[in-house]
Structure 1
Amino acid sequence: MIPLNVSQLTREQFVRNIITAWHSATPEQRRRGRAWYRGAHELAAKMTDGNPRAGAGVLAALSANKSWSENVRLARQACEVGLTSGHFSDALKKAAQIIEGADPADVLPMERKTGHFFRLIANPADPDAVVIDRHAHDVAVGVTYGQRDRGLSSAGRYALLADCYHEAARRLGERPSTVQAVTWVAHTEGIAGTGTRGSLKAT
């Protein structure tokens, strides 16, 4: 995994890697990346009868280590009939608390990927949130890690990569979340079928 105390030169390389990935995206990938969080927001609202904040919380709570399609399936089931299996007990507990009325911001780890994922689904126009999942990590460092540990549970490592996306976004004149979503689409589609990815991932 990348060290926490990377040099300014290495940090600059991470920013350039993100910008290169942005420019490598096709117009269609860019269109879908730009629309990703808006589409997720609409889905969250439908699942909860017009309460996208709650829907976003349930989706985020159940997102870890799941493909987006599986994430959505579990969240729908949780909202419709409840969910007692299919995920880690902690994730199931958080989803249940949100469905029962708890504010997601009081339940989810807001400083980490899950919290940022919730923020962007709840409000796709959030100017600061950026989701650093395994694919966002690999885009920034320029290496596909596969199943290796990326150390993203470290707040310092998450913040380092988030800062790189913020800087890349500043140079591109885009929101950090837009840069992350577009490069995520391009990257995941680029490694499809290579054995490093499987189905499209949200985490």
Structure 2
Amino acid sequence: MIPFKVDEETREQYVQNILDAFGRASEAQEQRGRVWYQIAHDLANMIADGNTREGAGVIAALSANKSWKENERLARGAYTDEPSGHTRDNIRKVERIMLGDDPEDVLPMSAKTGHFFRCILDPEDPDPVVIDRHAHDIAVNGVFGNSERGLDSKQRYALLAHCYREAALRLEEIPSVVQAVTWVAHTERLAGTGNRPKNR
């Protein structure tokens, strides 16, 4: 795991790694990244019959350690059948959200799922940054595989989120766009394809 307290030189290197990853994205990858959260937003609106906030909460609650394709399947299934396919804790979160609890009262808002919910709910929100395993690896410029990244640490999460915000500031973009574009390019490179990424 990377330390959550780093010097300015290391922090700047993380920012530069993100900028470099953004610059390596093809035009098509950049376009896919720019619309990623809008597509997820539209899905949330559709599955929850217009209640985008609820749908975004359900998607986020079912996102941990799942590919986007699986995340989407589970979210749709929660409405067409019943919540399933995840840990009991996450299924309970989905049930609470679908029964009317506000996602902000159910999800860990300082962690990845909380930020994911906010990005889906409002793709133009300039504050949230989704730091998943790929966002981590992009920033530190290394593929950790199944190694522990320690993203449950609020300090480590905040460090990497800060780096994405700084990169976004320099690019005159919002952080979620920078994260999504670099994520698309990174995951497609790992998959060895130019198709839509398979893992989140």
TM-score (norm 1): 0.95
1:22 aligns with 2:22: yes
Write out the 4+ residue segments of structure 1 that deviate beyond 3 Å after TM superposition: none
1:109 equivalent to 2:105? Answer: no
**Structure 2 partner of 1:156:** 155
Secondary structure at the aligned position of 1:58 is classed as helix
Secondary structure of 1:110's counterpart equals coil
Report matched runs for 1:54-203 at 5 Å.
54-83=54-83, 85-192=84-191, 200-202=198-200
CA separation in 1, counterparts of 2:116 and 2:154? 15
- Following the alignment from structure 1 to structure 2, what is the Cα–Cα distance between the partners of residues 2 and 201? 22
In structure 2, how many angstroms separate the alpha carbons of the residues matched to 1:99 and 1:75? 11
Q: Tell whether 2:34 aligns with 1:34.
A: yes
| Corresponding residue pairs, total | 197
Q: Name the aligned partner's letter for residue 200 of structure 1.
A: K
> Cα deviations across residues 150-184 of structure 1 (Å, max 9, x unaligned)?
00000000000000000000001000000000000
Q: How far off is 1:193 after superposition?
A: 5.0
1:201 is displaced (CA, Å) by 1.9
Structure 1: tracts of 5 or more residues without a match = none
What are the superposed Cα offsets for residues 127-172 of structure 1, whole Å, 9 maximum, x if unpaired? 1001000000000000010000000000000000000000000001
* Equivalent AA in structure 1 for residue 157 of structure 2: Y
CA distance in 1, matches of 2:112, 2:62: 12
- Any gaps of 5 or more consecutive residues in structure 2? none
Cα distance in 1 between the residues matched to 2:186 and 2:73: 24
Q: Secondary structure at the match of 1:191?
A: helix
| Secondary structure of 1:3 counterpart | coil
Write the distance in 1 (CA, Å) between the matches of 2:146 and 2:8.
Answer: 27
**Cα deviations by residue, 1:22-69 (Å, 9 ceiling, x for unpaired):** 000000000000000000000000001011110000000000010001
Q: Within 2, Cα distance between the matches of 1:102 and 1:201?
A: 29
* Length-normalised TM-score, structure 2: 0.96
